[in-house]
Amino acid sequence: MTEKELMLSGLPYSAEDLILLKELNATKDVIHRYNALIPSQEEEKKAILKDLLGHIGDDTICINQPFYCDYGKQISVGKHFFANFNFTVLDEATVTIGDNCFIGPNVSIYTACHSTDPVERNSRKEWAEPVTIGDNVWIGGSVTILPGVTIGNNTTIGAGSVVTKDIPDNVVAAGNPCRVIRKLQ
């Protein structure tokens, strides 16, 4: 398997692979162009996002600048998607976001994983775990979502939370670590 195939399979891969580094740099160039657009250039922004992201549910997508991601193609967003300023997605694995989702400012979604063993970490081997966010989800400002997490439908994640484990449907969850604080009826 190639290093990219290993990465997308959730297996350890070399983060120093020249092909992956070339792809990362190409994405950085696209992101630079996106972030340099005048905010009112809606059609240009949508065109870049359509080419950059793996899937967009429809044209009702808005990602305020600046926006950052590693690859783009592993990101899928549903209909009526909105993300506020400083949305950051490390998409070494798939990031799937459902319909009618709202992302607050300074939200980060991470799929990349690194060993806690310094010798292993210094080898530049890493792996990735997917993140899934259901439909009708609101992620408050400055939330961090860690690798392998699933957030259920109709759920709200409170501002400043660190989501380390799955969160079910129909709840309000908050905190560090994020936990359910109220069930919705």
pLDDT tens digits in sequence order for the chain, 185 residues long = 999 999 999 999 999 999 999 999 999 999 999 999 999 999 999 999 999 999 999 878 999 999 999 999 999 999 999 999 999 999 999 999 999 999 999 999 999 999 899 988 889 999 999 999 999 999 999 999 999 999 999 999 999 999 999 999 999 999 999 999 999 97
Q: What is the pTM of this model?
A: 0.95
Burial 71-102 (b: 16+ CB within 10 A, else e): bbbbbbbbebbbbbebbbbbbbbbbbbbbbbb
**Active-site residue numbers?**
114
Which domains does the chain carry? 3-183 (2.160.10.10)
